[in-house]
Amino acid sequence: MNEMMRQSLPDYQIQTPDPWAALPVNAESREKLWSKSRTFVGDVWFRFRSKFTSIFGFILIVLVLLFALVGPYFATFTYSEQNLDFVNTPPVFRAINCSGGYFYITDKLKVLEIDAQGHLVGKVESIAEDYEKKQVTLSYQGGEIIMDYSQSPYTMLDENGERIEEAKHIWNRTYLLGSDNLGRDMLARLMFGARVSLLVAVVAALTNLVIGVLFGSISAYCGGMVDAVMMRIVDVINTVPLTLYVILIMVVLDAGLLSIILALGTVYWVNMARVVRGEILSLKERDFVLASRTLGSSTATILFRHLIPNAMGPILVTLTMLIPSAIFMEAFLSFIGLGLTAPLASLGTMCNDALATLRTSPYQLFEPALLICILMFGFNFVGDGLRDALDPKLKK
């Protein structure tokens, strides 16, 4: 009878088994781990990738690395190649169609011929100039064309002597990001400048890891008079401005990248040493260190196998935070003239060169400044993500 009634009921009225009923238990299910186990590195990576800004910063760094290391192999020009006919050409032309061709008028009243795709053909030679009418007569394909600069924007005159007001915006296919005040490719110089900034970042990272970690860990572990003397050395180094270090090194060596690298290598590890010292001071009184001493382990074994590996979290975070400041310091020193010398390029020297043409060619300052911001944001985002991933108090 009950079976007949069950068959007559609609599907949504059929009673299901009790959802609160106990599941069958056996010896195998008792031993099964229902949560996925992860190693320490796997757990750090899991928490690091769960934060959007961390992955975004990592992608920015990878893209800049590819741009700086792989990009020059595909570049059309080198960072020092000059073409004085194509000075201060912008990334986008205001092209004027006249006499069957396209022309771009520079801020120096030079007329450049471009094709319909945006490739630079060459400079159009001038024949005569009427200073009263503010017009320049130019030779083009056996005839004459007239450029009028009586009012802004500068333009060409048609067959009837009327100003051509319409213009077409075409992307610069010869210099994708424009050219500087010496006719050098901005894209190639940005690639070389990014390479210099990344080299400075690598030098700062290696210096912090080698000198800063060793100095801070030895000072904290030895303690007493050794710690006091070593920390006073750090205080003395930290009181002298970095700019003065660079100037003193430049007295002995020539101005250039080597001076900046030596300056960063001699003084940039002091913050890392302080961070490592604080971590080692809190770790060396732990039970695992006392047990290692009881077993007769040497000082080197305790430092390199127990203390420093357990302090790697703060070390990595401090390292990623100090790298962008090193990049910014190199750009600042190059900007004030204490960095690379011509024709070498860095992001700081490019910003310095762009000041002369800031009003007419602002892209020359905007592009290296944007790349500096991308590097700063990338390393800061990664450092912020590592801080959260390595902090056990933030583990969920």
Per-residue pLDDT reduced to its tens digit, 98-124: 888 899 998 888 899 999 888 999 898
Give the residue with greater pLDDT, 172 vs 312. Answer: 172
Q: What local confidence, expressed as pLDDT, does residue 14 receive? A: 47
- Whether 9 has a pLDDT exceeding 50, the answer reads no
Kindly list the structural domains of the chain, giving each domain's residue range(s) and its CATH number in brackets, ordered by start.
Answer: 92-171 (no CATH), 186-394 (1.10.3720.10)
Of 75-79, 129-133, 175-179, 385-389, which gets the smallest average pLDDT?
385-389
Tell the residue number behind the tokens 């007769």, with chain if given. Answer: 296
> Can you tell me the mean pLDDT for 181-195?
91
pLDDT given at position 12: 47
State the DSSP code for 170.
E
**What is the per-residue pLDDT across 135-163, written as a single tens digit (0 to 9) for each?**
888 888 888 888 888 888 888 888 888 88
pTM, rounded to two decimals: 0.81
Confidence band of 1 (pLDDT split at 50, 70, 90)? very low
Question: What's the pLDDT score for residue 25?
Answer: 64
Write out the two tokens for 150.
């009586």
Residue 188: pLDDT band with limits 50, 70, 90: very high
Kindly indicate the confidence band of residue 357, based on its pLDDT and cuts at 50, 70 and 90: confident
Give me the pLDDT at residue 175, please. Answer: 92
pLDDT at 393 (0 to 100) = 56
Of 115, 102, 157, which is closest to residue 134 (Cα–Cα)? 157
Mean pLDDT in residue range 205-214: 84
The SS3 call for residue 45 is helix
How sure is the predictor about 207, in pLDDT bands with cuts at 50, 70 and 90?
confident
Q: What is the dihedral of CA 239, 244, 246, 251, to 10 degrees?
A: -130
In the block, residue with structure tokens 């001038």: 126
- How high is the pLDDT of residue 104? 92
Given pLDDT bands bounded at 50, 70 and 90, which one contains residue 295?
A: confident
Position of tokens 């024949």?
127
- Contact between 332 and 348 (Cβ < 8 Å): yes
Arithmetic mean of pLDDT over the chain: 82
Q: In terms of pLDDT, which residue wins out, 159 or 339? A: 159
Which residues in 251-382 belong to E strands, given as ranges?
A: none
